Structure 1
Amino acid sequence: MSPPLDSTRFEQLRASGDLPSPKGVALAVIRLTRQQDVTIAELARVISADPAFVGRVIKAANGLVAFERRPVASVHEALMVLGLPAVRTMVLGFSLLSHYRRGACRAFDYNRFWSSSLASALAAQVLAERTRAGAADELFAVGLLAHVGELALATLYPAEYDLVLESTRKPGAAPLLELEGAQFAINHCELTSAMLEDWGLPKVFLDAVAQVDAPATVPAPEGSRARRLLHTLAAASRVAEICVAEESARPRLAAALFAESSLGVERECLVTDCQRIAGLWVEWCSMLQLDPPAPPNFANLAESGPISIAAGNPGPVAQAGSKEQIPAKQPNHPEPDGPAVEEAPANSPRALIVDDEPRTRGSLRAVLEQAHYEVHEAGNGREGMERALELQPQIMILDWNMPELNGPDLVRALRQTRIGQTIYMILLTHSDDDEHLVEAFEAGADDFIAKPLRPRILAARLRAGQRVVRLQQEVEREHEEIRHFASQLAVTNRRLHEAALTDALTGFPNRRYAIDRIQQEWSAAQRWGRPLSCMIIDLDNFKQINDTRGHDVGDEVLRSAADALRSALRGQDVICRTGGDEFLAICPETDLARALVCAERLRNALDSLSLQVGDAKVVISASIGVAMRESWMQDVDALIKQADLGAYLAKQKGRNCVATVQKTGDSRNEPVAAE
């Protein structure tokens, strides 16, 4: 078992500067909501600076109000309905969608990722109304960000992640999480959890997101909020898979969803909820300019009857991180993630004209096309904002006076985004007086042109702008090389850190990791009042094997013993090699009686081993001491000492047995053997 993600690794990734993060208005909202005395009016004023966020937040609020209430019509009302925590996380998700709608990782389907994330968000919100696992608005935000680690890896390592995703589609390929860990020394689940923690999400959500892929293995108490939350998010993820899956795969996925009883929701209610989710999903995808597949008809899928999950070709599913992968997007047929945009030739810079006068746009287009630009147009400031974020042009020419959003305000809004910071912006103005020009430059414009247009002057200023753009691109290439070097160094450091915590011979975590881990489990058991047990596993007669057979045979005995212990261990337990022939097993959520049963299973696994050395066989066995945390124990050392005494007692009783010096249910007692 590999050590958990350490904060140093995440800090290295964050320091690279490429980790997906909130920008502009979203960053201001997050900072503002962290202040204890922030008012709804202040927050509404900040959000109102971005028209796109206004519409999305109001729509999210209207999805929560009761039918008999009038619809929410203002940001202030939306904030009253949603609450500050949900708004913070929701705006964060929308910010990432706006700025990371596309990227350089070819095999990562950005449009599909966001379509699936949106379906997961809506499903979590709707299902929360049934399960009462949490506030519906908060679960919307959590569902939207539940797989952000996949996006982060595609952003940080586009070329390398492309190869990883391609590898998962080969027959017999290892699971995606395993391939990610080998390539980047971190997987997308670990990265998601670290990012959400960094953004301030509550721990109960972090735990649920980290375990959503395998909810059945989580030892949360039945009926607890943590369990309901986990199963709600897991069901939301399944609904999202169905939404973005190919038509042929949907019946199989729906059969698994409707067969699941852990939600505690009747089948008819679940079908109704899924139909509602599909309708909301279509509306939201349209508003966010996503291009999803045709929505599923959950009523028909439910009526199609149970389908064997093992039968047939499963077909693709939703996300890059799913166990069943979507096919790689063909480079010659990219899927759109917004309005259709023609592909630019590789050597042609893109230019965007934003002006409400068709004649002016035509004049500008003629000059730009003569300079071999790929030219796009927008007729007002709002459309210009959307087109700029979508096209990512190198140069923009904007009129000063436009409907909906004027030129200076559009420049300011774009400069708050990551994409807008690199665009060379030229403002068209009817006046060239000093105050007018100062206002243009203070808004963030790079240059200005006074009307009426003079083609030669415009062409000369375009050439000057292109020189600036080329310099920026050269600087960015140099930064990219530095970031790539830094990321490779971070991966190397992570692997060195893992090596420092791993026993090279057996592959088990070493003593250093064991002490840290059992201390963590001790603190958790103490905090929540849950049982914790441990075992000392001491191989019998190992010194004699080393002395008579040699150290190479001793090493082979250790490797064989480790393999046997690994195969017999429960999923929740951790086993470490703490000495030459000694292992420590940590058993969270386990009382003494169950720990003794588990120890006996480990002893049997070792007892069935034999190693052929020449003409002779080397028999392998172990003496195992078991102990459980009790109220009188002051620290971890007391627990380990009790297990050590149990191992000593087992050896006294003739070896190859299990023993404890405790009795089940006693708070403190004299040493008593128990096999």
Structure 2
Amino acid sequence: MAPPIDVSRFEQLKASGDLPSPKGVALAVMRLTQQEDVSIANLANVIKTDPAFVGRLIKAANGIVGYGRRPVASVQDALTVLGLPAVRNMALGFSLLTHYRSGVCEGFDYGRYWAESLLSAVSMQAITLRTRAAAADEMYCLGLLARVGEIALATLYPHDYSRIVKEAGGQDLHRLLELESHAFAMTNAELGAAMLADWGLPRIFTDAAHCVASSTESTQSEGQREYVVTQSLALSQQVAKYCLGAEQERPQHKHRLLIAASRLNFDEETFGTLTDGVAREWLEWGALLSIHAEVLPPFGSVKALAPELGADGAEEEVPRQDVSMRALIVDTDVAACQTIAQFLGENGFQTSFTHDGFSAAELALDFMPDMMLIGEGLPDMSGGELVRVIRKTRIGRALYILILAEDVQEEVVVQALEAGADDALPKPVNLRVLLAKLGASRRLTDLNREIEQDREEIRHFAAELAVSNRRLQDAAMTDPLTGFPNRRCFSERFAQEWAFSLRNKRPLSCILVDVDHFKGINDTYGHDVGDAVLVQVAQAIRAAVRTQDVLARLGGDEFVVLCPGTAIESAMVCAERIRKAMHDLIMDTRLRSVKISISAGVACRDATMTDADSLFKRSDDGLYLAKKKGRDQVATAQLPQGRPGGSSAAGA
């Protein structure tokens, strides 16, 4: 849970009017969505006054529609697809982007901040479409708003924050948080979480934003929804760093990305496809929002390299080839640190050292040691306190930790062990004894590595299984011959479109198509020719209908077309267009040319129909009439009195 900042302090900041806040249409949208009786029509009327927001909203809605779904083209449809919570949060995010695109905080890079936020938003949407941890549109908003605490501090204290950002440096997050806390009695992570909570975002989102912004370990277990949301946000921000990083930095960013992606059971192939999709979406959103975006090389063409750390803690851009033990030394005695590091290096250890607790905690997350040697009496905390901090992190649970003390008495040893250390050694350190103790720790380290390797194999297997399941699911919903959705998929989509039509009082038409004399084609020319005919029929149907129409093959030579928002007259025109396309279609075989024709039955939802099956049955009746009239016909069994607003048509 995100720790709260002082309530009175936060209320004072709000009352000052200097905190980033929604303006104009966004403010009106937020106020409207707080009303219990708000209607989509009223909300749409407000949104339509801002053409830029309309375009962004429709773009967002089209980003989450699934396979075969008709594109969103109106504000009302976008509101229905997204839902009020996501619309409110998008209005908020886009308003902040518009009004806080620049500022007077010289040290704060506004352009990069919004580019990273946009990339995080697009990544969150793509990740969530696969993890299903929350609504993809709401996760988009979380990605866009998660770092709002940074721009809030840059807005509230532009001169002080400029100095702090420059002093911390671009990559030193822990130093930035420390300086913020000292200067403002709060961090950007705490302020951001408070702002998100004040705007009404769910607790699960505010906690995730605080956890990632403060770089703290998630306390949730793998598989829990809170864990997935937090890891998704962390991964989305890693994607942003990868996309915005310099070309020479991308191999290291890719290495970190793949590690983070494995925590959500993504294999490299799946995550590469996701990242390439994010890069394409980034270009589209960047153009829409006037934010920096660039063309990236394919994810698969970038070779992942693991960053190595030298003795001074600096990264070296070479791949890690060995699995030698890594030791981190923390002590105020510089000479002793150098002596121990040199000795351990000569005995096959990779080493690094530092001289205070805060730097040690930060370096441990990057260096990922197998063991730590911690001296007592550090300048900012005791050795025992540092052990407790390290043990709370994920990597710290498996470390072998030695406390180095001037006088190893019984009480010192007890306190060290109670703090979480594994052993204690007197100073000055006897190097032979130290090597013996560290050698004994190898068994524990090797066991931990085997366990971690097993876990990675299980994750990899689970990710491959998830990909296979998705492919099987796609195959189960697709007709293998034509590539159209099959009857099972059509049944689900039909129910959705029927419900949408009822809810919004919009027409819904159904066209049932049957190839004339298809059995004769199969019997005369063989099933391979029959299959070729069906493929050509499918292609002709696809070319004759609109992009928002839903196509499916029901089986055999029967096809169906759903036309959302289409009255009977327009549906008859569409069916006639399909019939004419087939009439001009000639199939060449080894024996002779085969002329193809179809019959079609058309129906539109009316007040006499109780469910989707009633509409399908009415279109089937129309198909029967077309066959009865001699085939190569379009007909409807729609009754004039059954369809409001006009007379029915029959025949073609």
- TM category (shorter chain) comes to 0.5 to 0.7
Q: Relative to structure 1, is the Cα distance of residues 154 and 601 closer, same or farther in structure 2, using a 3 angstrom cutoff?
A: farther
How far did residue 395 of structure 1 move? Answer: 2.1
Asked whether the equivalents of residues 149 and 188 of structure 1 are also in contact (C-alpha less than 8 Å), the reply is no
- Correspondence for 2:579: 603
| Counterpart amino acid of residue 611 in structure 2 | D
Asked whether the equivalents of residues 373 and 401 of structure 2 are also in contact (C-alpha less than 8 Å), the reply is yes
- Correspondence for 2:345: 369
Q: Of 278, 298, 317, which residue of structure 2 is paired with 1:325?
A: 298
Q: Relative to structure 1, is the Cα distance of residues 424 and 528 closer, same or farther in structure 2, using a 3 angstrom cutoff?
A: farther
| Counterpart amino acid of residue 341 in structure 1 | E
Q: Relative to structure 1, is the Cα distance of residues 544 and 80 closer, same or farther in structure 2, using a 3 angstrom cutoff?
A: same
- Correspondence for 2:150: 59
Q: Relative to structure 1, is the Cα distance of residues 356 and 77 closer, same or farther in structure 2, using a 3 angstrom cutoff?
A: same
Identity, % of aligned positions = 37
Say yes or no: does 1:509 pair with 2:623: no
SS state at 2:559 partner: strand
| Counterpart amino acid of residue 186 in structure 2 | S
Asked whether the equivalents of residues 599 and 632 of structure 2 are also in contact (C-alpha less than 8 Å), the reply is yes
| Counterpart amino acid of residue 81 in structure 1 | M
TM-score (norm 2): 0.58
How far did residue 157 of structure 1 move? Answer: 5.6
Q: Of 105, 110, 114, which residue of structure 1 is paired with 2:240?
A: 114
- Correspondence for 1:152: 261
- Correspondence for 2:448: 472
How far did residue 618 of structure 1 move? Answer: 1.4
In the TM superposition, what whole-angstrom CA distance separates every residue of 1:45-89 from its partner, at most 9, and x where no partner exists?
xxxxxxxxxx97752532565989999642565544342636334
Q: Give the unaligned 5+ runs of structure 2.
A: 1-65, 70-122, 125-132, 134-145, 162-182, 219-234, 246-256
Which residues in structure 2 correspond to 1:451-490 (within 5 Å)? 451-490=427-466
Measure, in 2, the Cα distance between the counterparts of 1:408 and 1:531. Answer: 71
**How many aligned positions are there?**
454
| Counterpart amino acid of residue 490 in structure 2 | A
Say yes or no: does 1:393 pair with 2:369: yes
Say yes or no: does 1:341 pair with 2:460: no
- Correspondence for 1:544: 520
How far did residue 536 of structure 1 move? Answer: 1.4
In the TM superposition, what whole-angstrom CA distance separates every residue of 1:113-146 from its partner, at most 9, and x where no partner exists?
3326789xxxxxxxxxxxxxxxxxxxxxxxxxxx
How far did residue 599 of structure 1 move? Answer: 3.4
In the TM superposition, what whole-angstrom CA distance separates every residue of 1:314-334 from its partner, at most 9, and x where no partner exists?
xx724xxxxx63783457898
- Correspondence for 2:210: 91
Q: Relative to structure 1, is the Cα distance of residues 581 and 58 closer, same or farther in structure 2, using a 3 angstrom cutoff?
A: closer
Measure, in 2, the Cα distance between the counterparts of 1:573 and 1:438. Answer: 74
Measure, in 1, the Cα distance between the counterparts of 2:409 and 2:607. Answer: 81
SS state at 2:610 partner: coil
- Correspondence for 2:379: 403
| Counterpart amino acid of residue 113 in structure 1 | V
| Counterpart amino acid of residue 206 in structure 2 | V
Say yes or no: does 1:673 pair with 2:650: yes
TM-score (norm 1): 0.56
In the TM superposition, what whole-angstrom CA distance separates every residue of 1:455-477 from its partner, at most 9, and x where no partner exists?
22211111122221112222333
Asked whether the equivalents of residues 511 and 619 of structure 2 are also in contact (C-alpha less than 8 Å), the reply is yes
- Correspondence for 1:74: 186
Say yes or no: does 1:576 pair with 2:576: no
How far did residue 527 of structure 1 move? Answer: 4.0
Asked whether the equivalents of residues 582 and 596 of structure 2 are also in contact (C-alpha less than 8 Å), the reply is yes
Measure, in 1, the Cα distance between the counterparts of 2:339 and 2:313. Answer: 25
Asked whether the equivalents of residues 267 and 463 of structure 2 are also in contact (C-alpha less than 8 Å), the reply is no
SS state at 1:578 partner: strand
Q: Relative to structure 1, is the Cα distance of residues 415 and 603 closer, same or farther in structure 2, using a 3 angstrom cutoff?
A: farther
Asked whether the equivalents of residues 355 and 399 of structure 1 are also in contact (C-alpha less than 8 Å), the reply is yes
- Correspondence for 2:13: none
SS state at 1:518 partner: helix
| Counterpart amino acid of residue 197 in structure 2 | G
Measure, in 1, the Cα distance between the counterparts of 2:564 and 2:418. Answer: 60
Q: Relative to structure 1, is the Cα distance of residues 461 and 530 closer, same or farther in structure 2, using a 3 angstrom cutoff?
A: farther
SS state at 1:393 partner: coil
- Correspondence for 2:359: 383
Which residues in structure 2 correspond to 1:117-196 (within 5 Å)? 152=261, 156=265, 160=269, 176=273
Measure, in 2, the Cα distance between the counterparts of 1:528 and 1:72. Answer: 51
Asked whether the equivalents of residues 351 and 394 of structure 1 are also in contact (C-alpha less than 8 Å), the reply is yes
- Correspondence for 1:626: 602
SS state at 1:615 partner: coil
- Correspondence for 1:651: 627
Q: Relative to structure 1, is the Cα distance of residues 486 and 634 closer, same or farther in structure 2, using a 3 angstrom cutoff?
A: same
Q: Relative to structure 1, is the Cα distance of residues 582 and 457 closer, same or farther in structure 2, using a 3 angstrom cutoff?
A: same
In the TM superposition, what whole-angstrom CA distance separates every residue of 1:506-551 from its partner, at most 9, and x where no partner exists?
3322212211222223334444555443321211222232333333
- Correspondence for 1:227: none
| Counterpart amino acid of residue 295 in structure 2 | V
Asked whether the equivalents of residues 317 and 326 of structure 1 are also in contact (C-alpha less than 8 Å), the reply is no
| Counterpart amino acid of residue 210 in structure 2 | V
Say yes or no: does 1:520 pair with 2:496: yes
Which structure exhibits the higher relative contact order, with contacts defined as CA atoms closer than 8 Å and separated by 6 or more residues?
A: 1
SS state at 2:348 partner: coil
SS state at 2:315 partner: coil
In the TM superposition, what whole-angstrom CA distance separates every residue of 1:210-254 from its partner, at most 9, and x where no partner exists?
xx967xxxxxxxxxxxxxxxxxx876x42xxxxxxxxxxxxxxxx
SS state at 2:441 partner: helix
Q: Relative to structure 1, is the Cα distance of residues 492 and 56 closer, same or farther in structure 2, using a 3 angstrom cutoff?
A: closer
In the TM superposition, what whole-angstrom CA distance separates every residue of 1:321-354 from its partner, at most 9, and x where no partner exists?
xxx6378345789899x98413566253322222
- Correspondence for 2:81: none
Q: Relative to structure 1, is the Cα distance of residues 160 and 464 closer, same or farther in structure 2, using a 3 angstrom cutoff?
A: farther
Q: Relative to structure 1, is the Cα distance of residues 390 and 579 closer, same or farther in structure 2, using a 3 angstrom cutoff?
A: same
Q: Relative to structure 1, is the Cα distance of residues 659 and 502 closer, same or farther in structure 2, using a 3 angstrom cutoff?
A: same
Asked whether the equivalents of residues 350 and 393 of structure 1 are also in contact (C-alpha less than 8 Å), the reply is yes
Measure, in 2, the Cα distance between the counterparts of 1:388 and 1:188. Answer: 32
Q: Relative to structure 1, is the Cα distance of residues 568 and 483 closer, same or farther in structure 2, using a 3 angstrom cutoff?
A: same
Q: Give the unaligned 5+ runs of structure 1.
A: 5-19, 22-29, 31-54, 100-108, 120-147, 166-175, 178-186, 190-208, 215-232, 239-256, 264-269, 279-295, 297-315, 319-323
Asked whether the equivalents of residues 329 and 335 of structure 1 are also in contact (C-alpha less than 8 Å), the reply is no
Asked whether the equivalents of residues 262 and 460 of structure 2 are also in contact (C-alpha less than 8 Å), the reply is no
Asked whether the equivalents of residues 381 and 405 of structure 1 are also in contact (C-alpha less than 8 Å), the reply is yes
Q: Relative to structure 1, is the Cα distance of residues 454 and 335 closer, same or farther in structure 2, using a 3 angstrom cutoff?
A: closer
Q: Relative to structure 1, is the Cα distance of residues 443 and 488 closer, same or farther in structure 2, using a 3 angstrom cutoff?
A: same
Measure, in 2, the Cα distance between the counterparts of 1:620 and 1:515. Answer: 28
Asked whether the equivalents of residues 536 and 643 of structure 1 are also in contact (C-alpha less than 8 Å), the reply is yes
Measure, in 1, the Cα distance between the counterparts of 2:589 and 2:364. Answer: 72
How far did residue 637 of structure 1 move? Answer: 0.9
SS state at 2:301 partner: coil
Q: Relative to structure 1, is the Cα distance of residues 448 and 92 closer, same or farther in structure 2, using a 3 angstrom cutoff?
A: same
| Counterpart amino acid of residue 628 in structure 1 | C
Measure, in 2, the Cα distance between the counterparts of 1:440 and 1:664. Answer: 88
Q: Of 377, 395, 419, which residue of structure 2 is paired with 1:419?
A: 395
| Counterpart amino acid of residue 640 in structure 1 | F
| Counterpart amino acid of residue 315 in structure 2 | V
Asked whether the equivalents of residues 98 and 389 of structure 1 are also in contact (C-alpha less than 8 Å), the reply is no
SS state at 2:342 partner: helix
Deviates more, 1:441-450 or 1:460-469: 441-450
